[in-house]
Amino acid sequence: MRKPPVQTGRAVHPPNPVSLKFPCLMKAHHLHPKKYPLNRGLRRFSIRPRDGDPPFTEKFFSQVVDHFNFNSLGNATFNQRYLITDRFWKKSFGPIFFYTGNEGDIWEFALNSGFILELAAQQEALVIFAEHRYYGRSLPFGNQSFSIPEVGLLTVEQALADYALMITELKLQLAAAQSPVIVFGGSYGGMLSVYMRLKYPNIVAGALAASAPILSTAGFGDPRQFFRDVTAVSLGEQIRLKRPVACDTMLGGSDLLTNLRDTAGTEPALGLWKHFKNCEGLADSLQRCFVPAGMVYNSSGLLPCFDLYRLYVECADPTGCGLGFNSLAWDYQACTEIEMCYESNNVTDMFPPMTFTQEARQLYCSKRWGVQPRPGWLRIQFWGDDLSTASNIIFSNGDLDPWANGGVRNSLSPSLIAINISDGAHHLDLRGSNAADPESVVKARKMEAELIAAWVKMERVRFRQSH
């Protein structure tokens, strides 16, 4: 057995929104320090204490770099970041609520998943938010992590093994062997929660997968669905937000809509689409259509404008890859396992006609990363749409979320439960309670809490019977 990992921890406050756009590299790593030096030229942002910040402690776990090849790197490790709070935990008895981090800085998800903390207070749980390898500050090879072949260890399977090992060893360290584990995740993180329950049911007792497009990203369904649903959702009440606009005020509608198309699937934009009518044809008001893009590319509001052509990033995800190192990581994942062959046609949606076929994906990914995508791999590895023999998974989706129809919308069994939230946006149920919450999301959270409590109880019975 490996020795328990050495950890460092300190109570910190999350970075401001600007720092979330430029995640710092990890401070230390154990792998070939001369070959993989840290990038000392990156701008760093201070972490400022703020009132009301979540009570997390930031720590680093000594994680195996390659779980599946004993020769390539041996037992080499890297520092994987996680956030933890035992504020509500009934030590050695209460459950463990574990967030399967997705494509970004882990603080970004922790700050927007208040429901998990509320549930932890009710059920006396320990809460852990784990950062996905190759995102945020969890870079296995420092600033060389996105070189070839180093980037090749960025896979869904490696990420799941990271979480399985982290859960197992932290339970030992915290004397929590009898604490049932429930995993949570939103969007791609929700997909990972489903996969954790499928792959490691001996470790994970249940999963809440919010807005998890596990079907569309495995190649199922209509490739036009996403942008069609973005358009449908945008036909709501139009509002104006005070937000810097595009630097080039002479942009044509096609350029503008292409940019909006690139930001359509990002987390900030998903919360805004429902407020915008069809932007097509609004020649005198095109700048208003940049509000969702501005929320993505200029979230701090510090820039007088944002440059469309500088910020547009070509990648293997037509809904947008974001910026910085995180965009590189997601681009690589979209070139390998995650299928994002979505298209717009300007007939069923408001965006310019743009196709992204498997052939186009193959050509781009071969040129950019030197890899050939494997269409259909997620169907084989993670059961595709044949999930009926699984158990203890909640699939929650909001009707105002364009990702919803790429996920599971109908219950598959008494323990594979679909919760559809009529007034819900992208994983709104994971956010903290708010006085403005629609009744549908309040009811959804209540149902989720009851199901999770039942799973925890069932797992305790299993523990007693097996020991």
Strand order in the sheet with 393-398: 8-11, 57-64, 77-85, 126-130, 96-100, 181-186, 206-210, 393-398, 416-421
Reply yes or no on whether the pLDDT at 239 is more than 60. Answer: no
Task: Return mean pLDDT, the chain.
Answer: 81
Tokens of 254: 């096609």
Which top CATH class is 57-219+381-466? alpha beta
The predicted pLDDT at position 362 comes to 97
The proportion of the chain whose per-residue pLDDT surpasses 90, expressed as a percent, equals 64
For residues 100 and 203, what is the distance between their CA atoms, to the nearest angstrom?
Answer: 13
DSSP codes of every residue in 85-131: E-TT--TTTS-EEEEE--SS-HHHHHTT-HHHHHHHHHHT-EEEEEP
Helices (H), ranges, 341-376: 358-369
> Mapping DSSP to helix (H, G, I), strand (E, B) and coil, where does residue 278 land?
coil
pLDDT band at 61 (very low <50, low <70, confident <90, very high): very high
pLDDT band at 307 (very low <50, low <70, confident <90, very high): low
The ranges of the chain annotated as CATH 3.40.50.1820 are 57-219+381-466
pLDDT band at 97 (very low <50, low <70, confident <90, very high): very high
Contact in structure between 27 and 37 (CB atoms under 8 Å): no
Q: What is the mean pLDDT of residues 33-59?
A: 48
Q: Per-residue pLDDT tens for 102-144?
A: 999 999 999 999 999 999 999 999 999 999 999 999 999 999 9
Reply yes or no on whether the pLDDT at 24 is more than 70. Answer: no
The predicted pLDDT at position 349 comes to 86
Residues catalogued as catalytic = 187, 401, 426
Reply yes or no on whether the pLDDT at 368 is more than 50. Answer: yes
Reply yes or no on whether the pLDDT at 266 is more than 70. Answer: no
pLDDT band at 54 (very low <50, low <70, confident <90, very high): low
Q: Per-residue pLDDT tens for 282-293?
A: 433 444 455 555
